[in-house]
Structure 1
Amino acid sequence: MKTISVCMIMKNESKTLSRVLDCVKQFADEIIVVDTGSSDNSKEIAKTYATKVLDFKWDNNFSNARNFSFKQATCDYQMWLDADDFITKQNIEKIKQLKKLPLADVFMFKYRMENLVFYRERILNRAKNFQWKGFVHEAIEAQGNIVYTDIEIEHRKELVQDPKRNLKLYQNAIKIGTPLSPRDTYYYGRELFYNKQISKAIQIFKKFLKYENTYAADNLGAYLMLSECLKKQEKLKKAFDVLLEALKKHNPSAELCCKIGYLAEKLNKDCICWFKFALNCHPQTQGFVDSTYEDLVPLLELSRLLYQTDFQQAKKYHQRAKKLYPNHKSIIYNEQYFK
């Protein structure tokens, strides 16, 4: 039987902390909570659940805090969670069963954020001394015997944080001369985009795409984000060409095909084929995956695009979408046109 130390870092998480710890206590052999400067009663809540509650002086580096939490672990495996995560009963039972499986170095879990689902390194063999890297958007490079599971952790954010928090961390690091890794560069570009600094984001994504041997999902993500930036600047042809360039370097993903389809329509090119391609793409398992691009989005677009020229085929796509998403507002609205 493997033992698991659940390691968490937190700051002012009193609204959600009990929720996640009520989940954790059902399978964890040790609970470690590291506080980075709470001014609410988060520490008091943590003490009612945790084996250890420790302080860490915040130094603008999430990896340092995570590594400190991992150092406190004494069990066979280390598992990380955020204070606003949630685990369903079904997934808690799966984690309990996981403890009975043969040893592995890394267990990958799905991480759900609304429509986005992606795999993260979740439970790690303590003997391998894995280290967190990246002062923001921190991660561990999974190595060794890696096991992908269907276990899912849900990220249910309750508090509205400063939208510029991560961008400020990058800007402060650059100001003091901290070099950005290729991964840091990619996520810096994303933060610039989210904060509407589009011209700067374009520069950063182009810089990232010049790096060799980067994580494939990040590389594809950079092409998608660069295209979005160019769309914001109404440079549709350039945005379209960027996606075609991505298609030369990556297997087609549903999201990539749909976004090519959107731009193809705006540029008066054949677009129907791209949404059909999207329906036939293999589901992605790496990077940020919005699963609606695999079915809902192309089905909606095909029912719209074919409505005037091939009503029966359009109706078939609508019915497929309705079967999958009967309560989706677009499906309900479209139903009046396909009676």
Structure 2
Amino acid sequence: MIVKNEEENLPRCLSSIKDYIDEIIIVDTGSEDNTIQIALSFGARVIEEAWQNNFSHARNVGLCQAKGEWILFLDADEEVMPDNLWQLRDLPSQNADGFFIQILNRDDKGNTIKQSALRLFRNNPLHRFRGSIHEQIIDSILEHNPEAQFQHLDLIVKHTGYQGKSITQKDKIQRNLSILNYEFEQGNQSPFLLFNLATEYLRSGDFPKALHFYDLAEPQLEPWVSYSHLLGKKKIQCLILLEDYQSALEVTNEYLHLYPDYTDLLFLKASIYYHKKDFINSLQTFRECLKLGEAPGSYVSEEGVGSFKAERSINRILELLKQSDIPEKRADLSLCLIVKNEQKNIARCIKSAKGVADEIIVVDTGSQDHTATLARKLGARVYNFDWSGNFAEARNFSLAMARSEWVLILDADETLRLEEHKQIRDIINKAGDTQGFYLKLINYFGTVDPDDYVVDAVCRLFRNQPEYQFAGAIHENISQSIIGAAGSASIVPTEIHIDHWGYLTRPILKKKNIRNTQILQQEVVKNNDPYTLYAMGTEFFQQAQYKDASSYYCEALRQHCDDGMLSDLYFKTAICYLEQEQYYQGVEMVKRGLQLFPDFASLWYLYGMLEYQQNNLEKACKIWQTTLATGDPPWHKYTFPKGIGTFRTAAVLAVCLEKMGQNKEAELLLEQFLEKRQGLLSIAPPYYRLLEKKYDSNKAVEILIEKIKPLDFSCCFILADVFNQLGRPVIRQGFIKYSLELLIQQPLETDFMKLAGMQLGIILKNCAEVIKKFPASISTDYKIKKISSLFNLGVDLSQ
């Protein structure tokens, strides 16, 4: 501990912890009261050190004297709560380098701010605090041990330093500002210093200066930085205090996009609406706070924003609405799912929609796992339905169970985006005569590049009317039912996303293909209509059986199917011809399609590919230039892969230009997309190959890094995959190592799994290569030993 004139607080602090520690080291920076005598009475070793306007210096003086294996640091105005103190005796058995502990900061107004802080860490002479104020040690630990492991300890420290005399608080603020401004004037303009300087000005009441320094710090911060979320919250508070409510609302929406589960931001958003006297939106947003609940422990959060404070605000607004006779208009919403054996997906799906749905209907068609149990635990009403081989029948049964005015349809392997819940509420509350909405279905097909997805428009949000019914045994559809009853203008597109993850699981996808094919074979016999033929062809298309797929597609075209699927039908039929090397037929199919859909970039892209395969390079280049000029298609009109009119076309056009000897043109084209970091998995490989023709590999990688600036895990992981595909193991491992370093700073389980999956794939490939090279005479023991040696972070075969 470091202390100065803490005779009021020190006894309470030391009494709370004395029975669970082996030594107490106190650095006194100039006490003039009884602080030192009190410390000595608790058996503390007191070091008197002159104050040097640097908290880290004082902390490190104490660290140099510590003999224990573990260090716990506290301030005198803190008290360790008695619950779970026994865990401190269990530290030698813990496989961790440090522990985050929950700090409860209480002020005179009764507010409690919760935050996690690294307060317990292994004693190592290399680990030292940094920062003259608001000192930190985690960077020092990670610098000397990038693989350091941190865990959370279920220990609570109550901090009362924000309570007490306002004069004392003002003195502390002025002291802190003096230290921080001195560092700023000496040239330290790190985001952490700027953030702390802004926060002190906010506490002092100088809101314009606070906002100025938050604005300076913000561009330097990545979202994963530990205090980035807090900067957003404090900047919003600053704007509210300046009564700039519109800017506050815009900033809040930006940060909610980054941190959708940070309830404090949602609470602030509700407060902004309240200040603007928009009581209806304020009320709805406070209710969303209740549904979201208290913020996760990883955030610095105010206690009650997801519970009693939100409830109190709701009651206050309801009373205001009652007094002013303002009607509260709010449409209700039912989430409807049909499921079977979806225990791996069901919780993720329901949680993504629980904050916006008033009820959840799950129709189980015969699960043999824990799907139904998990759904009930999450508040769903679960109904059993005997599977009839017809998806529309199951969907319509779910609609019959729904009680709300509006219905939202999801599959178990789909999710909503939390930040769009408010948008869903807004559109159904203000729908007018609109009967349904086309949502933006994002079908992910790759796990590396977040741009690897296909966009589709689906009617999944609509009014719950008995005449609106699904049709189709498979790929069931309700839009035609709504249009037939209310007209084509009754369904409108809206920028609300459904993320579909089902195409990422290949074994499950194959099972679904087999099931769907069996259903459709029966449907084709009963009803040989264009839509059924198209659906049947698509099942064969997904299984790469292009000859069978094209026969069904051509029959559907012959019958003149409706416009809803016609563009995709031309596109997929032409792909079938391309895959079968029937280029002439493919070109003719594309030309027919472009006559009807000249703005469908996918057809232009495919047209260029067909000409390229016939070595008509100049013609292919001109067509792809037209594709780029067309851009990505309107999502509510066409189904298409993201980037088909931008980066995907740029990648193939660059390869074509390179083949024609126009390397400089190819390089300039790719650089336009690299600087935007669009479609890196498509753009980076041809760009690197061009660089390798001009420079050695080190220089080529250096230029690539300069263009992309890979500062986040996603970007580094993509580059690792790029160099894995290019067969550059040394460069690949460099990016894998950097990806791991970034993960250690901001751990995320799904990203660890991605990285581990890549490494395992590399290892298995190397093992397979070794096995191929074994002569028959080699002993089994030697084979096992050789293969085992490869299990070392994906070491390549040459090593």
TM-score range, shorter chain: 0.7 to 0.9
**1:119 matched residue in structure 2:** 116
Match 1:151 to one of 135, 140, 155: 155
Alignment partners' CA distance in 2, 1:189 and 1:300: 30
**Larger-Rg structure:** 2
Query: Displacement, 1:135?
Result: 0.9
Deviations 1:181-214 (A, max 9, x none): 2112111101011112111111111111111336
Q: CA separation of 1:218/1:286 partners in 2, compared to 1, >3 Å: closer, same or farther?
A: same
Query: 1:250: how far off?
Result: 2.1
**Mapped partners of 1:19, 1:75: distance in 2:** 23
> For residues 89 and 253 of structure 1, what CA distance do their matches in structure 2 show?
29
Q: Describe the SS at the equivalent of 2:129.
A: coil
Relative to its length, the structure with more helix (as a share) is 2
Does the residue aligned with 2:289 lie in a helix, a strand or coil? helix
Aligned to 2:316: 304
- 8 Å contact kept, 1:26–1:92: no
Q: 1:33 touches 1:50 (CA, 8 Å); kept in 2?
A: no
* Offset, 1:138: 1.2
- Which residue of structure 1 aligns with residue 18 of structure 2? 25
SS state at 1:117 partner: strand
TM-score (norm 2): 0.36
**Of the candidates 167, 172, 176, which is equivalent to residue 182 of structure 2?**
172
Report Cα offsets for 1:70-129 as digits up to 9, x if no partner: 111111111101112112332433433x33532420011111112111111111011373
**CA–CA separation in structure 1 for the residues paired with 2:88 and 2:187:** 38
Compared CA separation, residues 10 and 262, structure 1 to 2 (3 A): same
1:51 is displaced (CA, Å) by 4.4
Please identify, of 244-253 and 65-74, the stretch whose mean Cα deviation from structure 2 is larger: 244-253
What is the aligned partner in structure 2 of residue 277 from structure 1? 288
Deviations 1:300-339 (A, max 9, x none): 22233345357xxxxxxxxxxxxxxxxxxxxxxxxxxxxx
The 3-state SS of whatever aligns with 1:261 is: helix
Whole-angstrom distance in 1 between the partners of 2:83 and 2:259: 35
- Counterpart-to-counterpart distance in 1, 2:261 and 2:253: 10
Q: Measure, in 2, the Cα distance between the counterparts of 1:159 and 1:178.
A: 34
Matched, 1:102 2:114: no
Question: Are the equivalent residues in 2 in contact too, given 1:189–1:202 (CA < 8 A)?
Answer: yes
Q: Which runs of 5+ in 2 are unaligned?
A: 107-111, 143-147, 329-799
Q: What SS does the corresponding residue of 1:294 show, helix, strand or coil?
A: coil
Q: Does residue 10 of structure 1 match 2:7?
A: no
Query: If the length of structure 1 is used for normalisation, what is the TM-score?
Result: 0.82
Look up the SS of the partner of 2:116 in the other structure: strand
Verify the 8 A CA contact 1:20 1:86 in the aligned structure 2: yes
- What amino acid does structure 2 have at the position aligned with 1:82? D
Secondary structure of 2:151's aligned partner: strand
CA distance in 1, matches of 2:35, 2:230: 36
Alpha-carbon separation, structure 1, partners of 2:52 and 2:84 = 34
Give the 3-state SS of the residue equivalent to 1:111 in structure 2. strand
Higher relative contact order (CA 8 A, sep 6+): 1
Q: Where do residues 137-216 of structure 1 align in structure 2 (5 Å cutoff)? A: 137-141=134-138, 143=142, 144-157=148-161, 160=165, 161=168, 162=171, 163-175=173-185, 177-213=186-222, 216=225
Give the SS at the match of 1:150. strand
1:189-268 matches, within 5 Å, as 189-213=198-222, 216-267=225-276, 268=278
Q: The residue matched to 1:109 in structure 2 has which SS?
A: strand
Report the Cα offset of residue 178 of structure 1.
4.5
Give the AA of the match of 2:312: L
Residue 291 in structure 1 maps to residue 303 in structure 2: yes
Q: Percent identity?
A: 23
SS at match of 1:138: coil
Cα–Cα, structure 1 residues 124 and 245, in superposed 2: closer, same or farther, change >3 Å?
A: same
C-alpha separation between the residues in 2 aligned to 1:173 and 1:47? 35
SS at match of 1:29: coil
Q: Secondary structure at the match of 2:73?
A: strand
- Residue 216 of structure 1, CA deviation: 4.1
Residue number in structure 2 paired with 1:74: 67
Q: What is the aligned partner in structure 1 of residue 57 from structure 2?
A: 64
Q: Any unmatched runs of 5+ in structure 1?
A: 1-7, 311-339
Residues matched between the structures, number:
301
Tell me if structure 2 keeps the 8 A contact 1:105–1:128. Answer: no
Give the conservation status (yes or no) of the 8 Å contact 2:223–2:258.
no
- Any idea what SS the aligned residue of 2:19 has? coil
C-alpha separation in 2, matches of 1:220 and 1:145: 22
Q: Is the 8 A contact 1:117 1:291 kept in 2?
A: yes
In structure 2, distance between residues paired with 1:197 and 1:156? 24
CA shift for structure 1 position 66: 0.6
User: SS at the partner of 2:30?
Assistant: coil
